[in-house]
Each structure stands twice: as structure tokens, then as C-alpha cells.
């Protein structure tokens, strides 16, 4: 009989505008690298959303505190020339 896991070392959540309530639990992950990749993908997918990567109560990443560089910048190396 398989048991479905409900608790993971890392969790990625989306928060409401006030940052007080979790609106959506995006993922629960055991592996640190997979958790970071999932967080980055969520930030890219829901730009402007309040997304956190946590290990228990410890916040590792918070999209409200970090800025993700655009994959497609408006200007190239030449400064738009």
C-alpha cells in the first residue's frame, strides 16, 4: 500500500496582496535544488505574484524581496542601438 506524502522539507506558496494568507500551495518538495528551480519557475509564471520558498518557518526566497531579470531584455549589449 502506497502512502501519499503530505509534509515536505520545502514548500512554494503564493500569498494574497496583504501577504497574510496563502492563496495557493504551489508545491511541496524534498530536494533543495528542485525546490529552487520550482520557485524560479513559479516566479516566472506568475510575475508580480507574492511567492515564497520556505523550509519550515524559514523563508529562503521571497519574490517581493528579489527581482528576477527578464529572460528577454528590451535592449541588447549595444544599449538599444
Taking the domains of the chain in order of start, what are their residue ranges?
10-62
What is the value of pTM for the model shown? 0.75
- CA 44/CA 72 separation, integer angstroms: 12
b/e burial code for range 35-56 (CB count within 10 A of at least 16 → b): bbebbbebbeeeeebbbbbbee
Q: For residue 76, is it left (φ>0), alpha (ψ between -120 and 50) or beta? A: beta
- What's the pLDDT tens digit per position in 14-69? 999 998 999 999 999 999 999 999 999 999 999 999 999 999 999 999 999 965 55
Amino acid at each position: 500500500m502506497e502512502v501519499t506524502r503530505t509534509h515536505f522539507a520545502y514548500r512554494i506558496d503564493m500569498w494574497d496582496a496583504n501577504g497574510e494568507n496563502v492563496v495557493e500551495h504551489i508545491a511541496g518538495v524534498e530536494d533543495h535544488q528542485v525546490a529552487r528551480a520550482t520557485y524560479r519557475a513559479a516566479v516566472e509564471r506568475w510575475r508580480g505574484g507574492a511567492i515564497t520558498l520556505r523550509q519550515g518557518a524559514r523563508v529562503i526566497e521571497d519574490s517581493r524581496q528579489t527581482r528576477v531579470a527578464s529572460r528577454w531584455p528590451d535592449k541588447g549589449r549595444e544599449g538599444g542601438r
